[in-house]
Structure 1
Amino acid sequence: MNEVFASGIDDQARHKVVGLLNARLADMISLTLAVKQAHWTLKGPGFIGVHELLDDVAERLREGADLMAERTVVLGGQAKGTVEEVSGKTSVAPYPTDLVDIEGHVAALTERYKSVGAALREAIATTADAGDAVTEDLFTEVSSIIDKDAWFIGANAKV
């Protein structure tokens, strides 16, 4: 018998959504660490503005990850946000640790933001199909923030 949780979605859909939440949680944590790597190591003209922007961006990523982790628990799952889990589950490409110039960091971060944005849009569709409007809305909210921050970061590229 499928158990119905407070979310109102059936057990099979709930398990699918929990797995999806953990996959996107891994991406958000991985992207946060990439942003912090850039924040710590970038150099060049415009340094302070980009440096401060990346602190703000990292905070928004942490907030989005927190929403996903909490929703996972609300659905009866376990949030899996350890370094070991993230390194094995993230779909985000490894971030280069040898970058220092702002342009290189902007390009690398923008590429990863686009990847996470695409994964979030897929998650929106999947949760809609599963009948979980709350998680669908959560992914939509986070996707909007990802898109805006990708634009903020990309605006630092030389034209």
Structure 2
Amino acid sequence: MPEAFVSGLNDQTRHKMIDLLNARLVDTIALSMAVKQAHWNLKGPGYIGVHELLDEVAARLNDSTDLMAERAQILGGQAKGTLDVAASKTSMDPYPTDMEAVNDHVAALKERFLAVGEKVRKAIEEASDAGDADTEDLFTEVSRQIDKDAWFIGSNAPV
């Protein structure tokens, strides 16, 4: 295992945090791919606003995945975020590939954002319980962004 650059965490805590970071990493990758699936395929009233929003949301999710992947590296682990790993390890429900209506995509995305957000909030607690304030803070940042984007997506539902 590569040398960890973080002092003050024992090996057991580091390994637990690396596993936790990778678990949330694959969920965030899956969520990002769901956003792109919707972005590419949605149609109907309100299309352009939601389409443009989803590009911004995908970029923010990519920032979150980078934070988690880099933290896993800092702790002496590896980021495990390939498409194969994400597909096999994500806890997120599969995203439908046969939808077109903006409202259907908005509902499906909001549901998944809320579910992933809940898992990230649990990760905050786990990192706190483990005594890793930095990973706890990272998950708090990711949680805030996921919650905000869930609200943006839900608020942009056409009437």
> Where on the TM-score scale, by shorter chain, does this alignment land: which range?
over 0.9
Structure 2 counterpart of 1:148: 148
Structure 2 counterpart of 1:61: 61
By how many angstroms is 1:73 displaced?
0.2
Where structure 2 has 5 or more consecutive residues not aligned to the other structure, the ranges are none
Question: Is it true that 1:110 corresponds to 2:110 in the alignment?
Answer: yes
Question: Is it true that 1:86 corresponds to 2:86 in the alignment?
Answer: yes
- Output the amino acid matched with 1:25: L
How many correspondences in the alignment? 157
CA contact (8 A) 2:102 2:158 kept: no
Question: SS of the counterpart of 2:76?
Answer: coil
> What pairs with 1:1-159 in structure 2 (closer than 5 Å)?
6-157=6-157
By how many angstroms is 1:110 displaced?
0.3
By how many angstroms is 1:4 displaced?
8.0
TM-score by length of 2: 0.95
Q: Deviations over 1:91-124 (max 9, x none)?
A: 1100000010000000000000000000000000
Q: Deviations over 1:31-78 (max 9, x none)?
A: 000000000000011111100000000000000000000000000001
Identity of aligned residues (%): 65
Separation (CA, whole Å) in 2 of partners of 1:16 and 1:52: 37
Q: Deviations over 1:5-36 (max 9, x none)?
A: 52411110110100000000000100000000
Question: SS of the counterpart of 1:76?
Answer: coil
- Output the amino acid matched with 1:8: G
Separation (CA, whole Å) in 2 of partners of 1:4 and 1:151: 37
Change (3 A) 1:7 1:40: farther
